[in-house]
A = this chain, B = another copy of it.
């Protein structure tokens, strides 16, 4: 099993090496050929998905997982249209980031290049196959995919169609490979020599498992505990609208808020307005003692928050609420409980906003807008492979730009370092070109 996986990984690496230096039009042509092949294979793909859906229903999977697994004509067409969007994005490979003459005829360039091979492990979302494939090819990377077990037949039909499309181009179809067993997933995490980046997309516990079980760099995030802090100088109407959007617009998204912090001075005015608005959307409120006492008896359904609420990503129509006595206290709460994903402040006080922006350590720090904007499409990146909450770049929503690295090219005419060393060292002139 594992030895066959090593073969697959080495084939992917080899195929990706020739993909790496393909010109933009060849890569775009390949994505277009894949899109055509997916269109031609639509019936086959939808039949495979129906088989997956039937098995999944027989096993009683949750309605939300079923919704993600199900592929209909509209969803398939929209995923194929998304691939064509990627054709229009600029090629991230071959960008000269630095061009400097160190000395006469000794020229340094820093040029972007693909990472190599991506290992992408995702849940039962067959449409992810199409998005990831187009991003991988455009960025010149090979990709080893492992979909959720529920989506096996759908993924197989999709990858077959993709490979049929590639077979009509100059790109080796082996740049895309599909794994189907759980053992292979575990083995994939050990292939340092052939896999350059692991992208896990799934539950928090799954991402944590991946992070803890590989020494290959992992791109992504486990938790998404985002906060909205309503400052004492907030516009109350604006704060209510932002809180509602950040919580209810798509509660299971990682960029939805889990906890709202509100300054004590504005809480008596703000909280009743907020509670009324949120309960219209069926949001359960879990308040600290101060917040609870402010709303008690007003006719709202309330719960007292426990310590564990501050550390919980509900992913659901539940909001924890805490009254804080200062911006400083809000910053401390976010530092302790935040997951460095996206944090927002609502305030008309530009100094408070500046302090918040400087002090909060997160990939996104927002002022007077919804946390739900934290997304590659909304940022204008066209598509994203995920959102990273790690410290080092790439951070935040990661699009094509995060799927490349760079190398330094130095070109000379026989220069040696001894010329530039010692007592009579010739100086460098370091002139940017």
Contact = CB atoms under 8 A, between A and B. Distances in A.
Nearest to A255: B417
Interface string A384-426: 0000001111011100000001111111111111101100000
Contact of A373 (B102, B365, B370): B102
Contacts of A395: 405-407
A359 to B, nearest CB: 7
A244 B414 CA distance: 12
A203 interface: no
Nearest to A431: B380
A365 B405 CA distance: 14
Interface in A333-381: 353, 357-359, 361-370, 372-374, 378-380
A84 interface: no
Given A241-B416, A242-B414, A408 B217 contact: no
A358 B362 CA distance: 36
Contact of A428 (B100, B378, B393): B378
A357 B115 CA distance: 15
Most buried by B among A242, A374, A393, A428: A393
Contacts of A428: 378, 380
A316 interface: no
Contact of A102 (B100, B215, B362, B380): B380
Given A238-B413, A364-B408, 7 more contacts: A100-B380, A102-B378, A196-B392, A238-B414, A249-B418, A366-B409, A366-B410
Interface of A: 17, 20-21, 100, 102, 106, 108, 110, 115-116, 196-197, 211-212, 215, 217, 235, 238, 241-242, 244-246, 249-250, 353, 357-359, 361-370, 372-374, 378-380, 390-393, 395-397, 405-418, 420-421, 428, 430
